[in-house]
Amino acid sequence: DEVSLQGFDHYMLKEIYEQPEALRNAMRGRLDEENATAVFGGLNLTPQQLRSVERIILTGCGTSWHSALVGEYLIEELARIPVSVEYASELRYRNPPIENNTLVFGITQSGETADTLAALRETKRKGHRTLAICNVVGSSIAQAADGGVYLHAGPEIGVASTKAYTSQCCILTMLALYFGRLRHLSYEGGQRIIQELYGIPGAVQEALNCNERVKEVANKYQDATNVLYLGRQYNFPTALEGALKLKEISYIHAEGYPAAEMKHGPIALVDTKTPSVFIVPQGSTYDKVMANMEEVKARGGPIIAVATKEDPMVDAVADDVIRIPDVPSILQPIVSVVPLQLLSYHFALLRGCDVDKPRNLAKSVTVE
Ligand code: AGP
């Protein structure tokens, strides 16, 4: 154990720090600059079959379901293919109408999650093509699917998924690029995304520099019993993921919401003891999220903001700011989740929780 921890106190922390390398591995050999697209060896479908896809279903559980939400935004924006995101545990027992030419992706770190496996088998039985986005080579889901893409993130041992999540987001970005280039996305558009992807491991490396700052923030709010996570567009799934990370390893109740949805109920939770974590990097909804932040501040709620390092406005509203590098909106999920992973880690440590093996949880849920 000592050897594989490589000097880190916990697997979760080690895996958080492995993310730049995991992202490089996810991209290795898969970006084709000449054709401004991505390449995947294992889809087992011809470009013609992939071009005729009319709908994509992304399914998974927990953190993998969160990356599916990121995938929905990406594929719809870059490839203009309608996407549905389904909890695998619901999809397996529901009987939704699924059109011909629908492609079903099961997203899973372990490849052994019972509900994801069953959902893929059920859709396959009905005649739809199934693909896996999976980390564990040769796992049950990798075998059951018609084809797929491996994350190559290396073993993830901490129960809280970290590097698998960011690798899933990276694979989904490359898939969106690939589907986009089979359809409407221009050569220049594809080139731009490739260059932006190349910058992502470095941006995550830089985001990791916030660790000391995050520790201070966790220290300040360690007695909180409720935390809200709020973000919009590409940062809405990040809010859900930040809240899940906090719940599972620190046992602090947390809720993730699209920031503007807060007014429809969750804002009633805001009081001086309930911190709100706003994910507010630069982008088209920046002003809107800042306005949502003002609303929480006006009600006396403490505010922790995850903002880009060049943002001069956020200090005037937030009580505590955690800085991350600025990246294009489509890639923000990969970078903005890093401080939230660290925040849950430090909260859990301060509260004496078993970070790598939280109570009641298993690394992979192989039973219903
Ligand atoms: C993540 O932190 C969780 N432990 C959990 O939600 C997990 O993502 C879920 O059980 C799905 O697992 P999978 O990716 O191995 O299918």
Q: What is the pLDDT of residues 226-261, one digit of tens each?
A: 999 999 999 999 999 999 999 999 999 999 999 999
Give the percent of the chain with pLDDT over 90: 94
* pLDDT of amino acid 50: 93
As a whole number of Å, the CA-based R_g of the chain is 20
Residue nearest to atom 16 of ligand 1 (CA): 108
Q: Which residues line ligand 1 (CB under 6 A)?
A: 60-64, 108-110, 113, 116, 159-161, 248, 364-365
Q: For the residues 87-102, what does the mean pLDDT come to?
A: 94
Nearest to 238 by CA among 79, 123, 70: 70
Residue nearest to atom 7 of ligand 1 (CA): 62
- Rounded to whole angstroms, the Cα distance separating 318 from 1 reads 41
Q: Whole-angstrom distance between the N-terminal and C-terminal Cα of the chain? A: 30
- Asked if the model's pLDDT at residue 2 lies above 70, the reply is no
- Rounded to whole angstroms, the Cα distance separating 323 from 307 reads 5
Phi, psi of 359 (to 5 degrees): -60, 150
CB 356 within 8 A of CB 161: no
Which is it for strands 303-308 and 276-279: parallel, antiparallel or unpaired?
Answer: parallel
Between the CA of 363 and the centroid of ligand 1 the distance, in Å, is 7
Between the CA of 64 and the centroid of ligand 1 the distance, in Å, is 6
Give the percent of the chain with pLDDT over 70: 99
Between the CA of 164 and the centroid of ligand 1 the distance, in Å, is 9
Note the ipTM here. 0.98
209: Cα within 13 Å, side-chain hemisphere: 10
**pLDDT band at residue 215 under the 50/70/90 scheme:** very high
pTM over 0.95: yes
Q: For the residues 328-337, what does the mean pLDDT come to?
A: 98
Phi, psi of 177 (to 5 degrees): -60, -45
CB 325 within 8 A of CB 193: no
Query: 11, 63, 92, 156: which to mutate for ligand 1, most atoms within 8 A of CB?
Result: 63
Q: Which two tokens stand for residue 251?
A: 């046992």
- Rounded to whole angstroms, the Cα distance separating 79 from 83 reads 10
* pLDDT of amino acid 47: 87
* pLDDT of amino acid 368: 84
